[in-house]
Amino acid sequence: MQRTFNSLDWNELNQVPCEILWGTNASSKLIELGLNITSELQLAFKLANSGYALRKKKNPGRAMGRWGDICEHADTILEPLGWFLIRKNGQPCLVNSEKNLQLIFMSPNDEAFGNELNVITSKCHKGHATELKLLANKSHYADSNFFRTFIVYYQPSNLIDTENSSFLPFEIAYATGIYKVSPVGEKTKCFPINHTLRLIMSDSPDAPEAYEAPIPDENNPITEDDFGDLQAI
């Protein structure tokens, strides 16, 4: 069973089928959606992780600072490509007005990050601004005339592998609903659910193909005679 929040099983709560793509298929989908920004996000993540590493573990704002750094660095790096960090309903969003796209950044639940068998959501509850954007997504995915909100799920801080950081995994997902955990009449506390698309980026789209060692021909084994005059060197 997937780990729960207050006894809630996200796998059971999910109500829609989700298209999940990896590798080159995920990269092709990003291009199709106008989100071919993998290398720029990689730089933003690496810069933010560097700042995170410099903060003391007892710093109460360490994780929140990393989220803020990701937003800031992504804004700076992507600004020449038409992306700008704007507050919408009080929530920082990376917006491309020409493409009617906006990105919000979240740390995901550990057990679902990069794992297609579990339903992904945010690690911490979100508020009313997230609710408005994700509910609007329900009818806007196929219509580029409306703003579509994609969630960038970045690597949780407790999963950072400093020794193997040539590529920092992330996901870009499209959620169409929320699950409220706040009582009626109180300030909204909710989690993204009902994702219809997850693009799992676990390695660089530009990475070379893995080398496959040749399989020796057991019917024609190599002998000393194959080296000829090299034996005399």
Structure tokens at 66: 């990393």
pLDDT at residue 7, rounded to an integer: 60
pLDDT at residue 53, rounded to an integer: 87
Identify the CA nearest to 2 among candidates 99, 107, 86, 113: 113
pLDDT at residue 176, rounded to an integer: 95
Q: Which residues of the chain have pLDDT under 70?
A: 1-7, 142, 162-164, 204-233
pLDDT at residue 208, rounded to an integer: 42
pLDDT at residue 147, rounded to an integer: 87
Q: Is 185 helix (H, G, I), strand (E, B) or coil?
A: coil
Residues 6+ apart with CB under 8 A from 124: 107
For the chain, what are the domain ranges? Answer: 15-204
pLDDT at residue 80, rounded to an integer: 97
pLDDT at residue 197, rounded to an integer: 97
pLDDT at residue 1, rounded to an integer: 44
pLDDT tens for each residue of 161-206: 766 678 999 999 999 999 999 999 899 999 999 999 999 998 765 5
**Side chain identity, residue 56:** K
pLDDT at residue 146, rounded to an integer: 82
Distance CA 133, CA 88 (A): 9
pTM of the model: 0.83
pLDDT at residue 210, rounded to an integer: 39
Instruction: Return left, alpha or beta for 104; rule: phi > 0 is left, psi -120 to 50 is alpha, else beta.
Output: beta
Instruction: Return left, alpha or beta for 122; rule: phi > 0 is left, psi -120 to 50 is alpha, else beta.
Output: beta
pLDDT at residue 226, rounded to an integer: 43
Structure tokens at 94: 């990376």
Distance of CA 103 to the CA centre of its chain: 11
Structure tokens at 167: 């590529």
pLDDT at residue 142, rounded to an integer: 67
Backbone angles phi, psi at 71, to 5 degrees: -60, -45
